[in-house]
Chain A
Amino acid sequence: MTDPNKPASVARRTISTPLILTAILIALALIALASGSRPFNQTVIDIFLRVILVVGLYIFIGNSGVMSFGHIGFTCLGGYAAAWLTMPPMMKQTLLPGLPNWLMQLQLPYWAGALIAALWAALWAAVFGKILLRLSGIAASIATFAMLAMINTIYSNWESVTAATSSVVGIPIVRTIWPYLIAAILSVFIAWAHAISRAGLALRAARDEPTAAAASGVDITKERLIAFVISGAVMGMGGALFAHSIGVVTPDTFYLTLTFTSLSMLVVGGIGSLSGAVLGVVILSSLIQALRWLEAGVTVGSTTFGIPNGLQEITLGIVMIVILAFRPSGIMANSELIWPRARPEKPDEMSGTTPTQQGVTK
């Protein structure tokens, strides 16, 4: 919703956020490339994957204000779709004998698989969203959680198609960093494009002032459904790439632990902020990595210092609590990273999109 009275379009005024975030991601990729170490490379790939997932969460949760515990379900759908589409037919015959014949013979390159996986997840997001998004508030959160549990139960028991709880191996592994980088940047831009689109602005208006937004003609359920489907697609793509990064999928990879780590990253970064989503991932992932190194032991001179097992998670939990105690709305709160120059024009403006959003609500 561009306002004709404003000199620059919303896109022009907010483009700096995705650009800065892209720069951060590229910088990470370059560091990984420069270090040349294999484990570090894998760490950065993990960070990119989490960026995709957390940005996917942000598209729905951040803009609609409805907490969703179910999005990792779409990641699960995406991961298994990637397995179905890209595994060699021989492997599929033994591991997943229940697949239909055409799917059994199919072997796509990983990027095509990831795209179809995203569409597949989006399709299911549309189906579930249509049913669930009539709810709001905590009831909606629980309903999404029930959806996650349903998906998990089905994938853990449908032996012939998902190999039940045993792991599906043989998914082609992609080790280079670039596809993950591109996908992460892509998801940042998708989130940005959605946030400044008519649907995104209307949805945020409805988040802040549901009554006023509804009175101004915002169809809350429809806008939520749009965000739900887009974020489902991003989560599905993330799931497919996740599968390609480790080469194995199990239903429990995509369950509570992943749900909570990604949600924590979003909340610590700042629920209502795209920059917060990316920074939350980068900060918490770096912390996790640093603690892992400490756990493995740091050699100083002839002695090795290491922290006991389990302390990594304990520290992580404590750090999260401390960050939230001091910044209850997350590191970025509701603001976005923008060029410093853009600020003086409107000093009280938190993010580039806020004025238009207020234009809708008031």
Chain B
Amino acid sequence: MQTLFDALSLGSLYALGALGIALIFGVMRLVNFAHGDVISFSVFALLWPSTDAVALVFAGDLPWFLLIPFVLLMGAGLSVLCELIIFRRFRGANPATMMIASFALGFVIRYFLLMLFSSRPKSISLLPALSQPVEILGARIPLLQVITIVATIAILFALTAFLKRTRFGLEMRAAAENFTMARMLGVRANRVIMGAFALSGALAAAIGLILASQTGTADIQMGGAVMLMAFIATVIGGLGSLPGAVLAGFLLGAASVVMQTLLPIDARPFRDAFVYGAVILVLIFRPQGLIAAPGTKERV
């Protein structure tokens, strides 16, 4: 039971991250390496610049109903800003160039945070009420895990509804499927791309919020690890396919947790090696991803 919840909550994080990357990849074929740094940024947006070990809280004391929208807005805002200033110039550049540009951007954001906050992890208590355990079916599970899972599911439903029921969502899906065609039919490219960036930034902020309350620290490296796994999940799921990204995110989370419990003690430190080995296997048998997105097939 505990294992199941661990798997689900880790998977939720990966799934949210993978969604954020897949959204942007879908509309502009950009593998956004700055995503992890957007995650860290939205957490640090809650703090005053300082180099102390204990965080000087700025907006973190807000009641939760203000705090959450604030963080989400910060993430979305930064993400849109990146689009406006930088990625707009790279429309039509080849994917490797865009990838390195996004990496350089992530670098800039990370060191900007470093300049303001120093590289020392800061202790921060966000929403402390959430660390209390609750009892579900005989297992004691931190409330936060439950909320993480519930929130992820809620976000997934909201996003699905948004993509399927609203005009903007329809345009976004059309753009993801065939960008040129969508433009011909009157979809405003810039607006759709900006929307994708805003959503992805908000998702990044959600991850940041969950991570910060889970670990109780704010660290400028915090986004990196999640982003790498999310990035892998996006590919395993089938690049550009949103359901695929979510599925693969949960699978990766489950694989990590299950291997942690199943592997013999000697092999446990090598858990990640096994997870990555599994990733390679999946790719070899399904190079197009678990759920291949239409329009990403290699044409001859």
Contact = CB atoms under 8 A, between A and B. Distances in A.
A138 B231 CA distance: 11
Contacts of A153: 269-273, 276
A142 B279 contact: yes
Nearest to B97: A328
Interface in B214-254: 224, 228, 231-232, 235-236, 239
Contacts of A267: 96-97, 100
B276 A313 contact: no
B101 A321 contact: yes
Given A146-B276, A324-B97, A328-B93, A317 B284 contact: no
Q: Which of B94, B105, B239, B287 has the most CB of A within 10 A?
A: B287
B99 to A, nearest CB: 7
B69 interface: no
B18 to A, nearest CB: 12
B68 interface: no
- Which secondary structure dominates where chain B touches chain A? helix
Contacts of B93: 324, 328
A139 B283 contact: yes
B235 A138 contact: yes
Given A310-B112, A310-B114, A145 B232 contact: yes
Range of interface residues on chain B? 35 or more
A316 B284 contact: no
B279 A263 contact: no
Q: 6 closest Cβ contacts across the A-B interface?
A: A310-B115, A317-B108, A157-B269, A328-B93, A313-B111, A146-B276
A189 B17 CA distance: 43
A134 B284 contact: yes
7 contacts: A134-B287, A136-B287, A136-B298, A137-B298, A150-B276, A153-B272, A328-B90
Contacts, number: 130
A308 B273 CA distance: 39
Nearest to A267: B100
A93 interface: no
Contact of B273 (A150, A311, A328, A329): A150
B73 to A, nearest CB: 24
Contact of B115 (A150, A260, A264, A314): A314
Range of interface residues on chain A? 35 or more
A143 interface: yes
Nearest to A327: B97
Interface of A: 67, 131-132, 134-139, 142-143, 145-147, 149-150, 153-154, 157, 211, 256, 260, 263-264, 267-268, 271, 308-314, 316-318, 320-321, 324-325, 328-330
A308 B118 CA distance: 12
Contact of B111 (A268, A271, A314): A314
B272 A142 contact: no
Given A157-B270, A310-B111, A314-B111, A263 B100 contact: yes
Contacts of B97: 267, 324, 328-330
Q: Which of B108, B114, B228 has the most CB of A within 10 A?
A: B108
B89 interface: yes
A142 B232 contact: yes
B279 A324 contact: no
A145 to B, nearest CB: 7
A154 B300 CA distance: 39
A260 B232 contact: no
A157 B269 CA distance: 6
A328 B94 contact: yes
Contact of B108 (A268, A308, A318): A318
A131 B279 CA distance: 13
A267 B271 CA distance: 33
